[in-house]
Structure 1
């Protein structure tokens, strides 16, 4: 089933194919500002008539624009806005408390942890953590666990994580935070698989979204990324970037969130709408290690100041 999907597969095609799996679902997606993958994802799945799209983002005005776009193209689909600043643990706790207070939303079928920052200059979060790690991992780690009761209340719940100082390297920091997303999916699968949860991480490909507006892809930033890839021995360091359209970029999101073939592959890492092949695609052993996943889980609990025992 998976072999027919590739880098050219679009989210729209998969939504049409998986419409029965999407219809009636409650889907919470983080990072849905206009022009980003999150916005493209929710606008794509809206075509299959989900029950509710919960749109979470740091800037309510931008999130409202995405909600308006959904309302215009699919007026029958309900949306709800959630203000969520993943860079602040206090803000994450506030947002999670709001979700948990929604008595009219007893269950969340799919949580898509899509929000991210990429290759920004060194900065610390309000809690004192490096900004990539704080936003891309710790914020999602805390938010996911705090609303886990509503996720586990769904019939077939899924959690999808978007993988994408003086000695600071912004690409290394971004890569480390994305590796953390992969390891969190492994931990969720191991700890909550017996309760019906399915968790996956994914790499959507290279897409021209607002996430990289601050970068010079054809200049110094593009070359620094290739240098970082070469240092790790990745084939991407010696090739040109193969850009996808936004519709192609969200295909793996749709696949991860809804495809039934993944039920028996809990914790898998996905690329191009299929399970990544470590022999032909860049999948590092430290990003798929259950030992490293458990170490990160315990460290994350320590950093957010709360234990989550399942």
Structure 2
């Protein structure tokens, strides 16, 4: 098996270890030093190669005011990003809401403050097979390999929902092998038949479709309709000690979300290309031309109970969290989102 592919069992164990952090680890976070005014004025964060995150866009648009962003590197996955936020290595991190649920279930005192990605008719994750693949239904996936960016998160949740709706038993679902493949290598792994199904989203999906030779088996948008899927989280301690900073950050990101919705796509892409070029990290900007949407469902990225409840139910059914242990309303706050409030 190529080094880029990781087995389900090993990666799931690593994922659970990743989220099994203690409250003591969280309480000794390193990214909590205050600025001269008593509140943090520079937020440490992780970025994404060749892409522009909403906070980066908000900063470039001037929506963060005097608040600065300090890039410390690129994240390898959502669960890794929010663990880094929970342990204080960065001030905010973003992940699939199911990963946020698992982090909260491990007693990490974090709270979600704004949605930052989701699925709509323009931005969605698709499960793609080769054009001549015999795979046509959920039943055909038994014994097959599905490549995705990380386990126990968005991609695997959608896959299991699809398989369940397709009538597969738990025993059969367990025979569908999920493998971790870096997003930039997923298309190649499919075309070289190292995997049978590739989970592709955003610009990587559109780039692969433009090359031809693949077709969708299903998409998360087809499964659940338009929905916000991931949120930025901060520690509760940081939020309590830096309310003005959090308000500026959240409202700025909300403004960036709405700017991306109401601005002509070509202008958004041009702005993103300029941002990536200016930061000088030797990144390829070619894939930015495929950008269509961040996929956030609610106005200004506000969070609702339903965006967490679906994953509370899914994780409870899997036995990953105790049913009734958490309430959706306790996992997030919209108190700092001033978008549309004057």
Structure with the larger RCO, 1 or 2 (CA within 8 Å, 6+ apart): 2
Higher Cα Rg: structure 1 or 2? 2
Bigger share in strand? 2
